[in-house]
Amino acid sequence: MRPMAKLVSDASPIGTRRRPRGRRRYVWMASLLILAGAGSALAAYPYPPLPTAEVEAARDALQEARAGAGSLAPEPLARAEAAALVMERLYAQDRSRWFRFQRLEALDRAIEDTRVHSTSALAEARSVHSERSARGEDLHDHLAAELRDLGPQVAFLPPGERRARGAVARAGLALRHAGEARGNGDLDRMEANLAAAEADIAGAREAVDKRYRRFHEPDARRRWQAWADETVAASRGGRVAIVVDKLDRHLILFRDGRVAARIHADLGRNALTDKIVAGDGATPEGRYKVTEKRANGSTQWYKALLLDYPNAEDWKTFRARKQRGEIPPGRGPGGLIEIHGLGGKQSNWTDGCVAVPNQVMDELFAAVPVGTPVTIVGTARLPGEKEGPSKESRG
């Protein structure tokens, strides 16, 4: 039989082994309570919501900028696109977080940058669109005015100037298309058509300048002016005289030194040049007289005032040109230059004569006697005329 002390000693380890199990239960219970409390705290914590509405608004702003800005505001639109990439990346990151104790400031900044740059791009695009549209309208009006001035001059060119006539026709069509494009907001198409119209107008202007250059030569202008002044002076004392201004395409009847009538006249189909040979379609320039009045079937042009072309001065000029080799063999200076009826076609179509409407021809026929001075000039300053585009803007 063992001693009591030994028994106690042997029992002690058993008591010691049982006691830790109770403590572990207490630890587990405390842990569970802590976790439960933490869970309750987490559940009750006021998490900030995802900025879904702000992101959608920024996306809408970017979409509107893409549709409205396009190539008009590339820099702010590129900044908006870059900010949107950052926004989308951070937004995806924000949605993947388990716990959101606070908002991502970087995401808020990216949302704001996307919205601000999109708004800026759209505003800049609208400003650029307005400026380009206004410039296009101004250029359209300028080109249209130039075309209106150029059209009659091109129509006055010889029949061989088909390129200039084609350029005027194309320019008119391009201006119409430019106006339509501007109305539709298609500025690229508007500007392309304006550029085409401008190029065609420049080409036609070059052809016109070449043909009209002689009307601005100082020597020729002085000579024409002297002829016109002499003719006007010859009408004083109750007499009549006629001056034909080829540049303005007008026949001016003077009586007693004053303008009695100004009539639009059709001239030769090659009226911009001086007459050189028969069949060249040019209206001669010089000082002539009415040698015969034709009516009642003696002319195919209703009524006519026959001029003394070629006169001595014309023959002198013709022979000088022939000596210089400017006249083809077998060609003469032509003749039968008249002021006649059947005009009013608003074009140059005769073989070199001056044509007026029949009712005007009736008045001239009654007012103009044989021997009346008739001077045909390239252009001249006549009594009662004012400085204007018809005299100075050509060439």
Q: What is the pLDDT of residues 143-191, one digit of tens each?
A: 999 999 988 888 778 777 888 889 999 999 999 999 999 999 899 999 9
Q: Phi and psi of 382, rounded to 5°?
A: -110, 160
More confident position, 156 or 52: 52
| Cβ neighbour number for residue 287 with a 10 Å cutoff | 18
- Give the DSSP letter of residue 214: G
Q: Where are the alpha helices (DSSP H) in 303-392?
A: 312-323, 358-367, 389-392
pLDDT at 167: 93
Enumerate residues 6+ apart whose C-beta is below 8 A from 58.
84, 87, 111, 112, 114, 115, 118
Instruction: Determine the distance from the C-alpha atom of residue 26 to the mean position of all C-alpha atoms in its chain, rounded to a whole number.
Output: 92
Three-state secondary structure call for residue 241: strand
Mean pLDDT of all residues belonging to the chain: 86
Which pLDDT score, from 0 to 100, does residue 296 have? 86
Angle at 61 between CA 56 and CA 62, to 5 degrees: 95
Residue 38 in this model has a pLDDT that exceeds 70? no
At 250-262, the pLDDT tens digits run: 999 999 999 999 9
Q: What is the average per-residue pLDDT within 61-73?
A: 88
Architecture of the domain made up of 217-392 = Beta Barrel (2.40)
Share of the chain above pLDDT 90, in %: 58
Question: How long a stretch of residues is the chain?
Answer: 395
109-133 residue pLDDT tens:
999 999 999 999 999 999 998 999 9
Listed in sequence order, the residues at least 6 apart from 83 whose beta carbon sits closer than 8 Å to its beta carbon are: 110, 113, 114, 117
Residue bearing the bigger pLDDT, 331 or 23: 331
pLDDT in tens, 200-213: 999 999 988 888 88
Domain boundaries, the chain: 27-216, 217-392
Q: How far apart are CA 61 and CA 383, in angstroms?
A: 70
Q: Which pLDDT score, from 0 to 100, does residue 297 have?
A: 84
Answer with the residue of higher pLDDT: 273 or 136. 136
So what's the pLDDT on residue 173?
95
Helix, strand, or coil here: 369? coil
Measuring CA to CA, how many Å separate 177 from each of 146, 251, 392?
Answer: 17, 39, 31
For residue 41, pLDDT over 70 is answered with no
In this predicted model, what pLDDT tens digit does every residue of 133-143 receive, in sequence order?
Answer: 999 999 999 99
Q: 13-17, 198-202, 214-218: which range is least confident on average?
A: 13-17
Residue 216 has phi, psi (to 5 degrees) of -115, 10
